[in-house]
Amino acid sequence: MTPDQISRCGKAAGSAVARLSPLSGGCLAEVLRADLADGGSVVVKAGRESDRLDIEGRSLRALGEDGGLPVPCLYLIDPDLIVMEHLPNDGGLDATAQRDAAGLIAALHIKPRDGYGYAEDTRIGPLHQPNPPANKWVPFYRDHRLLFMGRVAMERGGLSAAGYAALERLAGRLESLIGEPEHPSLLHGDLWTGNVLASGGRITGFIDPAIYHGDAEMDLAFSTLFGTFGEDFFDAYRDVRPFDYAGFLDTRRDLYNLYPLLVHTALFGGGYANSVARIVQRFTG
């Protein structure tokens, strides 16, 4: 953090910064715990103005105010700096916490939204996430998620030209594979374990969103990719928002997880490109 950022952090928090210590996460910016002179603490994300951290701040605020999810209180939102509440997190999502998360996420998803996309482009990790308005889900997912991120992954060297061509072939078949959802839902967009905070069997907050309006099953698929949620979550979720769980597990989960796998291919390459190839091969023969 720069001296100016430290000063702004103290003013926003209402007490001078006494000590800074690093926290995990933060592929876009530095994430720190700031212990304050008055004995309190806040979480700080600090970067450059070009990092546009204000997008993340507005996304968090939307999840809380419009989506009804628990999120950290935000004390400052600037392009290079976010100062937010330090929430308790014991690092585990036990069965009770998963059921709590299910009720919150189902309530977020069950409310219909006006069209796909979002009012502004957002980010997933450090990568651009385009959100142009759209009336149909399948063309939006095809063009602005799969093919867009496939091109990013290819340009960054993670995905081969042949891999992208195979992705294009799959994209041409999406209409028959996933269809249109009942309505657009507000999505967290990056629902992996590190972005779900819990303590004492309750969810204390959701962080680091990549929001947009899309098919609710995008969030559900992402939550299975790295083992965030399991059967306790899905049983409780379906009590609130029933859906075609068998079809999701058999088909749509893999198709929707192509997007975060392409994100990881763009960022890290390696085995993620192989995971993409396996799913594409499954649906294209």
Which domains occur in the chain, in start order?
Answer: 3-85 (3.30.200.20), 95-284 (3.90.1200.10)
Q: How far is residue 155's CA from residue 160's CA, in Å, rounded to a whole number?
A: 9
Is 190 a catalytic site residue?
yes
Distance between CA 171 and CA 175 in Å, rounded? 8
* Dihedral sign, Cα of residue 152, residue 157, residue 163, residue 165: positive
Copy the structure tokens of residue 101.
């998360």
| pLDDT for residue 50 | 87
Name the active-site residue from 100, 190, 208, 232: 190
Of 218, 219, 254, 220, give the one whose Cα is nearest residue 235.
220
User: Among candidates 195, 251, 184, which has minimal Cα distance to 223?
Assistant: 195
Confidence (pLDDT) at 26: 62
> What's the token pair of residue 179?
């269809």
Distance between CA 239 and CA 216 in Å, rounded?
15
Q: In this structure, are residues 46 and 80 in contact, taking their beta carbons and an 8 Å threshold?
A: yes
Residue 258 phi/psi, 5° resolution?
A: -60, -35
Residues 191/221, Cβ–Cβ less than 8 Å: no
pLDDT in tens, the chain (285 residues): 999 999 999 999 999 999 999 987 666 789 999 999 999 999 999 999 988 999 999 999 999 999 999 999 999 999 999 999 999 998 789 999 999 999 999 999 999 999 999 999 999 999 999 999 999 999 999 999 999 999 999 999 999 999 999 999 999 999 999 999 999 999 999 999 989 999 999 999 999 999 999 999 999 999 999 889 999 999 999 999 999 999 999 999 999 999 999 999 999 988 999 999 999 999 998
Q: Which residues contact 239 (CB under 8 A, 6 or more apart)?
A: 102
CA gap 204, 70 in Å, rounded: 6
Q: How far apart are CA 272 and CA 202, in angstroms?
A: 32
Token code pair at residue 253: 């989960």
Question: What pLDDT was estimated at residue 213?
Answer: 98
